[in-house]
A and B are shown apart, each in its own frame.
Chain A
């Protein structure tokens, strides 16, 4: 029988190896955008690290003097602001999680054909200017409004003022109003990742849990919660990080005793001629602080398929 294949040629006679061509396309595609980000995001942040140890003012210019006292100024003078930022964002994240989970659970498992509509209801309001929506709370929580009246009648305001959450007979211009505004603004950021995560859970796993002797709470604790953890972690991060830097709510709904870091930084940069170095120092502290907290959180919580 004739063979259809030939034996391979000896090595010396084989043709020249073809070198694979260097593919430049991805780099050509990446470069413009990455350049933009590098110049307008990375460089500024790195510059501000150097700015944080400079001295001077807008008129005379700034010089790099390794003036670490800027950091001391930042932390000593504005310690309360950092504390407020941290406190408000942590409280906001907790409240958002507590409110978002039942809503996301309801839409994911009991929503049926209304799921998309309900999620649209969650997201669509965000398309109106968030400033106008936050200012609307001035109307809702106004002193002569129904909310304050009801709270007064229930004598709740006395209790909350004693706790320091509200001020006198007002709800506005108090920590409670600030947190209320923040929770309102960031709730969709918590609901969305939670919903995505919960929606992926096969409802038959709940049935299996019930079949294997889990009561309703046990089913949630042993089956739903572990499987929704990526959503919980994603949602809390997506809420906490922007909340730390937010100062709009504190500005619009708070009072001079509830100021947060962002307000000070804005002030230093825009309204004080020598505020640039200290402002930069404050930014650096804020960035590093947020990074440390987030890294610790991720490390403790586990990072499986976060994104």
Chain B
């Protein structure tokens, strides 16, 4: 075996992070992170900048050493292995294509370093996979951003790594191209069956592509789950605000009976499904997504059993086309966001007095002592 030999691939190898911590002096970038990513899944690490997601990725690739903790690929521990000995490849944020080599040589690079003699077929096939076979002789600077991104992907994929790491690879692309690439990446991942770990701050991107998302905040995982779980049933205000938007209403629990929790907010009674509540006594934060809420001019229009808050006044109406976005101000001063789909219902003008209502099973209850604004700013920054 040459000294450059890469760790032999083991079948069915899950990627396991155990107690991973990274400290820079007094600053902790990643805080005791433990995680198992099953082989063949599309996993997303989602969070605002500075949350530790890129640091985690670099530790998996070997470009950073963890301060504490271990990394396993299947049964084998890879924590001490240098990057060139791990069967892990990275698609870098700025692509990092070698400017002194043409496209063919860039894609062939990893194969050549591992001693593969005849690379022609593999490279040609891979270039066909990303539909850029005709650019094989060009230099990276002669390609557009989207093309460079696909070559960076091809260069990593061709080595058939056990885990493919993607560090915000779509960040530099314009919206249309990004959407296209999101579908492409997902298609390729399903076709090739490798484990993809995708780092991004774009929550829509994560939700579209990933099977499982880990939302990170200040070096820790806030919540781990499928996109639907995270969206419908967030654990914390951070997750509720970071993924999409939420109305978060402070309330206090009055009673719990038969799986229904009754809370009161602003002197009105509201109901929650006990299974979707993180706490069932004392202070609670009632959350409901704006698209689940509707407005009515009369209390009588509210279907039976639905939660309703009366006394609201519309302070802002934005007609987006697909939907109308209302800001409804309650007597207490609190503002509720409502996204009403454009089904032809009358659009309420600012000043109108309305009742907001929603299906109680669509709400969720969070621990009452959390910061209501957590994650909201981070989301705005990320979206900018």
Contact = CB atoms under 8 A, between A and B. Distances in A.
Answer yes or no: A and B touching, Cβ < 8 Å: yes
Interface of A: 202, 204-205, 207-215, 218, 222-223, 226-227
15 contacts: A207-B63, A207-B92, A208-B92, A210-B84, A211-B83, A211-B89, A211-B156, A212-B89, A212-B155, A212-B156, A213-B4, A214-B113, A222-B109, A222-B113, A223-B98
Contact of B84 (A205, A214, A226): A214
**Which of A211, A218, A223 is packed against the most chain B CB atoms within 10 Å?**
A211
A218 B113 CA distance: 8
A212 B159 contact: yes
B110 interface: yes
Contact of B62 (A210, A222, A227): A210
A226 B63 contact: no
Contact of B96 (A207, A214, A215, A227): A207
Contacts of A222: 109, 113
A214 B96 CA distance: 15
Contacts of B63: 207, 210-211
B114 A213 contact: yes
Contact of B4 (A202, A207, A215, A223): A215
Interface of B: 3-4, 6, 61-63, 82-85, 88-90, 92, 94, 96-100, 109-110, 113-114, 155-156, 159
B100 A215 contact: no
A227 B100 contact: yes
A291 B324 CA distance: 77
B100 A212 contact: no
A210 B83 contact: yes
A101 to B, nearest CB: 17
Contacts of A212: 84, 89, 109-110, 113, 155-156, 159
Contact of B98 (A205, A210, A215): A205
Given A204-B94, A207-B90, A212-B159, 14 more contacts: A205-B99, A207-B83, A207-B92, A208-B97, A211-B63, A211-B84, A212-B89, A213-B4, A213-B84, A213-B114, A214-B84, A215-B4, A218-B113, A222-B109
A213 B92 contact: no
Contacts of A202: 94, 96
A213 B88 CA distance: 10
Nearest to A219: B84
A209 B96 CA distance: 9
A210 B62 CA distance: 9
Contacts of B113: 212-214, 218, 222
Contact of A226 (B61, B96, B100): B100
B91 to A, nearest CB: 9
A61 B83 CA distance: 75
B114 A205 contact: no
Label chain A's interface by main secondary structure: helix
Contacts of A208: 90, 92, 96-98
Contact of B110 (A205, A207, A213): A213
Nearest to A229: B100
Nearest to B3: A215
Nearest to A202: B96
Contact of A215 (B62, B82, B94): B82
Contacts, number: 64
Contacts of B61: 211
Nearest to B108: A212
B94 A227 contact: no
Contacts of B99: 205, 227
Contacts of A205: 96, 98-99
Nearest to A223: B98
B341 to A, nearest CB: 42
A33 to B, nearest CB: 36
Contacts of B114: 213
A202 B98 CA distance: 10
A211 B62 CA distance: 8
B344 to A, nearest CB: 38
Contacts of B97: 208
Nearest to B83: A210
A120 to B, nearest CB: 28
A208 B99 CA distance: 12
Given A207-B63, A222-B113, A213 B6 contact: yes
B277 to A, nearest CB: 45
Contacts of A223: 98
Contacts of A211: 61, 63, 83-84, 88-90, 92, 156
A208 B83 CA distance: 10
Contacts of A213: 4, 6, 84-85, 110, 113-114, 159
A306 to B, nearest CB: 15
A215 B4 CA distance: 7
Contacts of B85: 213
Contacts of B84: 210-215, 218
B8 to A, nearest CB: 14
A222 B88 CA distance: 20
A139 to B, nearest CB: 45
Contact of A204 (B4, B92, B156, B159): B92
**Which of B6, B85, B96, B97 is packed against the most chain A CB atoms within 10 Å?**
B96
Nearest to A201: B99
A214 B110 CA distance: 8
A209 B114 CA distance: 12
Contacts of A214: 84, 113
Nearest to A210: B83
B96 A204 contact: yes
B55 to A, nearest CB: 14
A218 B90 CA distance: 18
A226 to B, nearest CB: 5
B131 to A, nearest CB: 22
A137 B92 CA distance: 50
A202 B99 CA distance: 10
A208 B84 CA distance: 10
Contacts of B88: 211
Contacts of B156: 211-212
Nearest to A227: B100
Nearest to A211: B90
